[in-house]
Structure 1
Amino acid sequence: MTRKLFSLLPLSLLCAALLAGCASTPAPHGEVKGAEASSREMGQSDSNRVASLAMRANLDSLYLLMSKLYRRNPAEWKKTAASREEAEKKVKQAIEQRQAWPELQGKRDIQAMTLALSPEFKGDRVAAFIDATADMIIVAHGNKIEFFLVDGLDAQHLYNAARNVEIAAWILSSRKNAAGAPLLLSDEIGSEARNLSFEREFGKIVGRLDLMAEFMTERYRRAGISYVQNLLGGSFLQFLPVR
């Protein structure tokens, strides 16, 4: 019966069925990869290393958002560069070298974010927004991108940075310019297209910042508990002689 059924099916239908079966198979999503070992790690504690990795991941997320925003808003990179690639390179260099973005008029962190997201801003809004947001996050980390044994982080500053990113994402999706258009085209929800990749990337940044804030709070709390445990261990957790 089965052979008769397949013999009656047109070849095109058989091909379609095979393709549907292949499509149902989950696509490979890669594998986790750790950073390469470096001699600089000798001056880092475990928490320093985690903070450094989280910071690098947040900057990479901002660079990805910059690239996506430039693709959706090509008029922005044309204000400051001859190509999108050149514009992205300039912004990355300014962030990594801690140089103030010229169009932000010397403003830094949250003041720069406010200017970049104001309807009246006429410069390259993508560059200004990404640079200002990166600067705000770096300032929240004590003005550092990489962390060593002498460095400490303020959990409340990290928490505040996470809320600032949430506010910025909301402003970006809701505020209009003088002409009534969005400040920048980002997420898209329509009958024919649905693109929430911007929201997801902002969410990753917020999640990392919140996790680091909790981690730093827990770290200091656990340090106190460990101290008490060590004191108690001296009296109660020692092995007793058996001979």
Structure 2
Amino acid sequence: MLRSLCIVLLVSSLALLCGCTAGTVPSFNLKKLAKSDIDMVIDRHISETNRLAAQLMVKLYKRNPRELRKGPPGMTVAKRLKLLFNTPYTVNFNELNGAYGNRAIPLAFDPNFKGDRVFALMAGIAGMLHTAYNHQTEYFMFDDLDQQKIYHCARNLESIAWQLNSRRADNGELFILANSIDAQSGLSNFSFERLFGKMIAIQDVLAQIISDKNDRAINKVVHGVASTVLLPI
């Protein structure tokens, strides 16, 4: 980030000098001078991933309102969204005993966990994504992303989607409700699956973009979807 800031300051200074010389004030976003076309594509992909993750969180709370009541007094969905998606990102939550990213996911499916399972799941998903993106929301020419971490995110999201639809408590009920099929009408709701599918696709595309940019290959490890083991980020 320090290198990015230096670039922005340098480019801004040069642009302002040119503007003063010409007797005009620049009317464009100076930060764009420090961005390549690929940087702007990366920004767009990451912004869309965060939007989809936030949408997933809202939908999960609608399906599982009891989970929100397990949180601190006065907690709302809006407050949960701010906790996970407002910058600078919060990475330590007392109610999760400091778990974040990959370490928070198992709590959502732990029979002994008494807290908000939706929040544990989303602190895991959001934390995993934010970590892979170096906790940044904007990228410049000399910023570096690891395509392997982003590829791992895609595979982990596949695993999490499977766990969400498969992991059950001792009484046979799903820990967290998501996709459903109405027993009477036969109508199905696979909107959660579609959200996961979109996020997974974005990570795979983004990993390939970064791989091409850095001229580094992605190590496409064998990782079964029906697995509770998450790849490191």
Fold similarity call, TM over 0.5: yes
Match of 1:194 among 170, 188, 192: 188
1:89 aligned residue: 78
Cα distance change of structure 1 residues 221 and 88 upon mapping to structure 2, 3 Å threshold? same
Give unmatched runs, 5+ long, in structure 2.
Answer: 1-27, 217-233
Cα distance change of structure 1 residues 38 and 79 upon mapping to structure 2, 3 Å threshold? farther
Aligned-partner residue type, residue 48 of structure 1: D
Matches of 2:161 and 2:200 in 1, distance apart?
10
Indicate the structure whose relative CO is greater, using CA pairs within 8 Å and at least 6 residues apart: 2
Quote the offset at 1:221 in angstroms.
3.3
2:229 aligned residue: none
Quote the offset at 1:107 in angstroms.
1.8
Quote the offset at 1:120 in angstroms.
2.4
Structure (1/2) with the larger helix percentage = 1
1:123 aligned residue: 115
Tell me whether 1:210 sits opposite 2:229 in the alignment: no
Give unmatched runs, 5+ long, in structure 1.
Answer: 1-36, 223-243
Match of 1:71 among 35, 54, 62: 62
Give the number of the structure whose alpha-carbon radius of gyration is greater: 1
Count, aligned residues = 184
Matches of 1:110 and 1:64 in 2, distance apart?
20
Matches of 2:111 and 2:156 in 1, distance apart?
18
TM-score scaled by structure 1? 0.69
Cα distance change of structure 1 residues 87 and 127 upon mapping to structure 2, 3 Å threshold? farther
**Mean alpha-carbon deviation: is it higher for 90-99 or for 121-130?**
90-99
2:156 aligned residue: 164
2:169 aligned residue: 177
Cα distance change of structure 1 residues 54 and 194 upon mapping to structure 2, 3 Å threshold? same
Checking the alignment, whether the CA contact within 8 Å between 2:146 and 2:210 is kept in structure 1 is: yes
Give CA-to-partner distance per residue, 1:92-133, whole Å, 9 cap, x none. 222223112332211221111222332322111112211221
Matches of 2:94 and 2:29 in 1, distance apart?
34
RMSD between aligned alpha carbons? 2.1
Checking the alignment, whether the CA contact within 8 Å between 2:108 and 2:175 is kept in structure 1 is: no
Cα distance change of structure 1 residues 150 and 80 upon mapping to structure 2, 3 Å threshold? same
- Structure 1 runs of 4+ aligned residues shifted over 6 Å read none
Tell me whether 1:152 sits opposite 2:144 in the alignment: yes
Identity of aligned residues (%): 33
Matches of 2:190 and 2:89 in 1, distance apart?
30
TM-score scaled by structure 2? 0.72
